[in-house]
């Protein structure tokens, strides 16, 4: 690793920048350096007073990150962003400042790295790790953000020892679960191995030391064995006219460790620690070389893999064959072209498309993303610093999704635009049903608040809160919408059942029989062809089955209606009206005239009233606002002024119509009010349609004042939308017609 000691202790930022640029040019000659130069100076200034936990100047970190990026042959924009990747987090500098100085691209990359840092994976679960990797890609917007993050992580892992052990474990674990598989997915072999081995070192220090020492101890042996294979192979390849480069390499420590765990074998028995790489110029030569190798040594059949004809999902291509040497030593040969070698070590993003878990499946659905990936695949041919090449790095694969956390750290994937309510239903139907809002990153938000990737969401519930139709507008996901609909349907069904039961029992009570309703149920259901009594109630409650059909059934069984109290009274009234003056009305000052109350509007004491002279039946008294009054208003000479006598001895009749949202207990609540006032209900009808209640009551009222009090009480009921005195319920009463 490069040492920046001299550079960092330089007193002049200009001189330090000069040194740094020279180092960059060493690994990447020809790269344009203006942007890197000014980014270096800016970073120097921004971090000049900061010190790392190790005691080093903070600048050592961004400079190292930028250097790792340069070694990966990344462009000047990415290297500049690497130098600046911590300035948004640690200094007063803003994204706009960066955009102005270094351009949108640099600003967006730095912003992307800053956003990703705010999020830490909290659970160790494979499926979650996969979602987490997706989230990183989605938040990054540009793959270079992820690559800077890799470099950042590598440098942090290299210098991790200064942090507390708990933190070290968390970072190392996250590296193995998230970053290293992501690097693998992106085809960046070299980065993956370094992340693996660094994390391994921190996570299992003694196992790491053990393996390193064994690898070192077997070094001399290994060299000897390698040479025993490499020498004869070189000669044979030359004889065949194949121009090949061979290189032995130790397996990476973490991969040795994984193999030992997987196969349950000790170090010595992990036989493929030895590997020889043979790099040739063409695919044809790969197979030619394979033939040469198999001519020299015996292959282990089950260890042969042709990743050239069937590349790995991340684009890796090579032929692997394991052969047995003279002394029984075993070696894995990896045959590949130069291009394949480059792809294996550096190949960004490349070919992760083809399978490997859910990610690729989702990508392959999206043609646009496919096009983007095809462009990437062409990359290896022409690695330049050109801007249009880096256009291909833009990630818009997961724009349709957001990723949010539960308080326990589980990741929930939702479509973009999803709300708190969607989140609640995604976690659990019960949470959604009672959801009243959520704490989003600690702030209380309403159910309709739109969520963003990376937020942590704690759903707030209230057991008495239940879904309503209006909540549908906050639910964007099919899951939430169907859950709400289902809940509403169930609730509506229950309401219908309750209402239908009330209606039918009420009607049944009016029949002149002592048999309980239940005794009729089996036969009634059969008669109507309905499966169960709940369903019967529901159909009646919904208005799908007219109450009258049920009543006809009883009529057919000769069960007749009792005379309703209201009817009895009104019949009685009919017999007495016209014969005897009801008490309570003064015509002029006389109280013994033939006066009767008009049945069309049933005035009660306190109402504005007007009298009309009828033929032979005395004076009929109407409410002043009765529609019938208008019919003979013009007949001035028949109108008679009448007034209430203060005696108020008589009962008066009023019809009230109440409409509103139906719910259980509404009827009870209203009738309880009538009872409070000692008002008798002489008749009533109850209808419900589409969860709207339509209730009509005939009441015996003492006077207008009492009626007003009752109306006020009813209006206070939340569900009641309208309560009105019915004025024209006998508008066709021709008795009132003066003709």
The residues annotated as belonging to the active site are: 89-90
Cα gap 280→267, rounded to integer Å = 31
Q: Which is nearer to Mn ion, 50 or 258 (CB)?
A: 50
Question: Which position among 86, 105, 547, 736 is part of the footprint of Mn ion (CB under 5 A)?
Answer: 86
If the CB atoms of residues 78 and 406 are measured against Mn ion, the closer one turns out to be: 78
Nearer to Mn ion, 89 or 523 (CB): 89
* Between 86 and 700, CB nearer to Mn ion: 86
Residue 47 or 520 having the CB closest to Mn ion: 47
CB of 164 to Mn ion, least distance (A): 18
Task: Give, in degrees to the nearest 5, the angle at Cα 221 between 215 and 224.
Answer: 130
Q: Which is nearer to Mn ion, 90 or 676 (CB)?
A: 90
Q: Residue 326 in 3-state DSSP?
A: coil
67 or 604: CB nearest Mn ion: 67
CB of 180 to Mn ion, least distance (A): 18
Structure-token pair, residue 705: 């004042």
Give, rounded to a whole angstrom, the gap between the first and last alpha carbons of the chain. Answer: 115
CA nearest neighbour of 313 among 189, 127, 196, 184: 184
Query: Least distance to Mn ion from the beta carbon of 121, Å?
Result: 17
Residues 308-337 that bind Mn ion (CB under 5 A): none
Shortest reach from residue 61's CB to Mn ion, in Å: 6
Minimum CB distance to Mn ion, residue 204 (Å)? 25
Torsion, Cα 717 718 720 722, to 10 degrees, reads 100
Closest by CA to 112, choosing from 126, 98, 100, is 98
User: Which of 75, 111, 152, 346 is the binder for Mn ion (CB under 5 A)?
Assistant: 152
Q: CB of 619 within 8 A of CB of 587? A: yes
* Binding status of residue 607 toward Mn ion by CB under 5 A: no
Give the shortest CB-182-to-Mn ion separation in angstroms. Answer: 17
- Contact (Cβ atoms closer than 8 angstroms) between residue 401 and residue 363: no
**Interacting residues of 625 by C-beta distance below 8 A, sequence separation 6+:** 601, 608, 727
Residue 353 DSSP one-character state? T
DSSP state, residue 407 = T
CB of 34 to Mn ion, least distance (A): 24
CB atoms within 10 A of CB 140: 24
Q: Which residue lies nearest Mn ion, judged by its C-beta?
A: 152
Q: Which lies closer to Mn ion via its Cβ, residue 87 or residue 440? A: 87
Region of 145-153, 217-225, 274-282, 575-583 interacting with Mn ion (CB under 5 A): 145-153
Determine how many CB atoms are found less than 10 A away from the CB of residue 14.
12
Q: Which is nearer to Mn ion, 86 or 197 (CB)?
A: 86
Nearest approach, Cβ of 14 to Mn ion (angstroms)?
A: 24
Identity of the residue, 155 or 501, whose beta carbon is nearer to Mn ion in the bound complex: 155
Locus of tokens 């096009």: 371
Nearer to Mn ion, 60 or 244 (CB): 60
Half-sphere exposure of 73 (CA within 13 A, CB side): 15
Q: How far is the CB of 116 from Mn ion (least distance, A)?
A: 11
Handedness of CA 509, 515, 518, 524 (dihedral sign): negative
Strand bridging mode 595-597 / 619-623: parallel
- Maximum distance among all Cα pairs of the chain, rounded to whole angstroms: 142
Q: How far is the CB of 43 from Mn ion (least distance, A)?
A: 11
- Find the shortest distance in angstroms from Cβ 113 to Mn ion: 8
Give the binding range for Mn ion (CB under 5 A) out of 42-50, 79-87, 319-327, 525-533.
Answer: 79-87
Helix H segments across 428-516?
A: 429-433, 478-509
Q: Which stretch binds Mn ion (CB under 5 A): 30-38, 41-49, 81-89, 520-528?
A: 81-89
Contact 459, 438 (CB under 8 A): yes
User: Cα-flanking dihedrals φ and ψ of residue 544, to 5°?
Assistant: -80, -25
Angle at 383 between CA 380 and CA 388, to 5 degrees: 110
Please state the three-class secondary structure of 452-463 as a single string. Answer: CCCCEEEEEECC
Give least dist CB 149 to Mn ion, A.
9
Contact window for Mn ion (CB under 5 A) among 151-159, 173-181, 515-523, 624-632: 151-159
- Residues 6 or more apart whose CB falls under 8 angstroms from that of 94 comprise 88
Backbone angles phi, psi at 295, to 5 degrees: -70, -30
Tokens of 370: 């496919």
By C-alpha distance, which of 297, 276, 293 is closest to 285?
A: 293
Stretch in the footprint of Mn ion (CB under 5 A) among 83-91, 317-325, 528-536, 647-655: 83-91
> Distance between CA 35 and CA 103 in Å, rounded?
10
Which range binds Mn ion by CB under 5 A, 92-100, 149-157, 248-256, 726-734? 149-157
Per CB under 5 A, which region of 144-152, 283-291, 448-456, 484-492 contacts Mn ion? Answer: 144-152
| Spatial distance between the Cα atoms of 422 and 440, rounded to a whole number of angstroms | 13
Q: Where are the beta strands (DSSP E) in 269-371?
A: 275-280, 298-299, 305-306, 319-324, 330-337
Q: Are 186 and 156 in contact (CB under 8 A)?
A: no
Q: Which tokens belong to 446? A: 């309403």
Residue 389 CB, shortest distance to Mn ion, in Å, is 26
User: What residues pair up with 336 in beta bridges, in sequence order?
Assistant: 279
Indicate if the alpha-carbon torsion angle 418, 419, 421, 425 is positive or negative: positive
Q: Which stretch binds Mn ion (CB under 5 A): 152-160, 493-501, 568-576, 597-605?
A: 152-160
- How many residues lie near Mn ion (CB under 5 A)? 2
For residue 193, what are its two tokens? 């191995």
Which region among 4-12, 33-41, 148-156, 429-437 touches Mn ion (by CB under 5 A)? 148-156
Q: Are strands 401-405 and 411-415 parallel, antiparallel or unpaired?
A: antiparallel
- Residue number, 152 or 346, with CB nearest to Mn ion: 152
R_g of the chain, CA atoms, integer Å: 44
Contact status, residue 671 vs residue 691, Cβ threshold 8 Å: no
Pick between residue 114 and residue 494 the one whose CB is nearest to Mn ion.
114
Give the interface with Mn ion as residue ranges (CB under 5 A). 86, 152
């Amino acid at each position: 690793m490069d040492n920046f000691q001299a550079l960092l202790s330089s007193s002049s930022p200009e001189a330090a920048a000069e040194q740094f640029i020279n180092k960059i040019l060493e690994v990447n000659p020809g790269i344009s350096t203006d942007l890197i130069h000014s980014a270096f100076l800016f970073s120097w200034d921004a971090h000049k007073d900061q010190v790392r936990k190790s005691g080093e100047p903070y600048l050592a970190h961004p400079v190292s990150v930028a250097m790792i990026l340069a070694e990966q042959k990344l462009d000047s924009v990415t290297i500049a962003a690497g130098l600046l990747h911590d300035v948004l987090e640690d200094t007063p500098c803003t994204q706009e400042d960066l955009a102005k100085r270094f351009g949108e691209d640099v600003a967006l990359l730095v912003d992307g790295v800053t956003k990703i840092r705010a999020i830490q994976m909290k659970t160790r679960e494979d499926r979650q790790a996969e979602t987490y990797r997706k989230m990183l890609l989605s938040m990054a917007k540009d793959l270079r953000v992820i690559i800077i993050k890799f470099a950042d992580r590598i440098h942090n892992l290299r210098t991790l020892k200064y942090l507390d052990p708990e933190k070290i474990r968390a970072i190392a674990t996250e590296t193995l679960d998230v970053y290293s598989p992501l690097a693998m997915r992106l085809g960046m072999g070299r980065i993956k191995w370094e992340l693996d081995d660094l994390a391994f070192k921190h996570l299992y220090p003694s196992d790491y030391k053990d393996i390193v020492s064994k690898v070192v101890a077997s070094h001399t042996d290994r060299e000897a064995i390698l040479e025993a294979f490499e020498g004869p192979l070189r000669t044979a390849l030359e004889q065949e006219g194949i121009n090949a480069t061979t290189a032995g390499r130790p397996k990476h420590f973490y991969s040795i460790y994984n193999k030992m765990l997987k196969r349950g074998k000790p170090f010595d028995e992990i036989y493929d620690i030895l590997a020889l790489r043979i790099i040739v110029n063409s695919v044809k030569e790969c197979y030619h070389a394979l033939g040469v190798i198999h001519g020299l040594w015996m292959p282990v059949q089950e260890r042969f893999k042709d990743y050239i004809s069937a590349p790995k999902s991340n684009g890796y291509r090579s032929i692997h064959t394991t052969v047995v040497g003279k002394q029984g030593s075993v070696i894995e040969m990896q045959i590949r072209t130069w291009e394949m070698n480059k792809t294996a070590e550096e190949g960004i993003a490349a070919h992760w498309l083809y399978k490997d878990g859910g990610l690729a499946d989702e990508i392959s659905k999206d043609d646009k993303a496919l096009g983007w990936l095809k462009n990437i695949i062409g990359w290896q041919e022409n690695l330049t610093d050109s801007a249009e090449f880096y256009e291909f790095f833009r990630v818009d694969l997961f724009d349709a999704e957001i990723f949010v956390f539960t308080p326990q750290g589980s990741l929930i994937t939702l479509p973009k635009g999803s709300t708190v309510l969607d989140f609640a239903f995604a976690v659990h139907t019960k949470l959604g049903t009672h959801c009243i809002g959520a704490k989003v990153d600690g702030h209380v938000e309403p159910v309709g608040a739109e969520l963003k990737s990376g937020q942590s969401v704690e759903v707030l519930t209230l057991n008495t809160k239940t879904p309503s139709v209006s909540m549908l507008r906050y639910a964007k996901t099919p899951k939430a919408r169907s859950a709400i609909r289902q809940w509403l349907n169930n609730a509506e069904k229950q309401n219908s059942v309750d209402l239908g039961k009330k209606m039918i029992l009420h009607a049944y009570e009016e029949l002149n029989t002592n048999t309980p309703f239940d005794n009729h149920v089996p036969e009634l259901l059969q008669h109507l062809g309905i499966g169960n009594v709940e369903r019967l109630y529901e159909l009646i409650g919904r208005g799908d089955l007219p109450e009258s059909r049920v009543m006809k059934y009883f009529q057919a069984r000769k069960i007749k209606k009792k005379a309703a109290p209201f009817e009895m009274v009104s019949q009685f009234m009919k017999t007495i009206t016209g014969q005897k003056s009801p008490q309570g009305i003064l015509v002029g000052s006389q109280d013994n005239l033939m006066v009767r109350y008009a049945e069309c509007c049933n005035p009660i004491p306190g109402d504005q009233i007007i009298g009309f002279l009828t033929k032979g039946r005395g004076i009929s008294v109407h409410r002043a606002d009765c529609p019938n009054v208008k019919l003979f208003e013009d007949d001035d000479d028949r109108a008679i002024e009448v007034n209430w006598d203060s005696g108020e001895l008589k009962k008066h009749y009023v019809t009230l119509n109440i409409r509103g949202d139906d719910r259980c207990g509404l009827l009870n609540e209203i009738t309880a009010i009538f009872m409070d006032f000692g008002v008798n209900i002489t008749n009533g009808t109850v209808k419900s349609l589409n969860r709207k209640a339509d209730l009509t009551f005939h009441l015996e009222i003492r006077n207008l004042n009492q009626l007003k009090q009752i109306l006020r009480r009813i209006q206070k009921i939340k569900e009641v939308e309208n309560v009105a005195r019915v004025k024209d319920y006998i508008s066709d009463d021709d008795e009132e017609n003066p003709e």
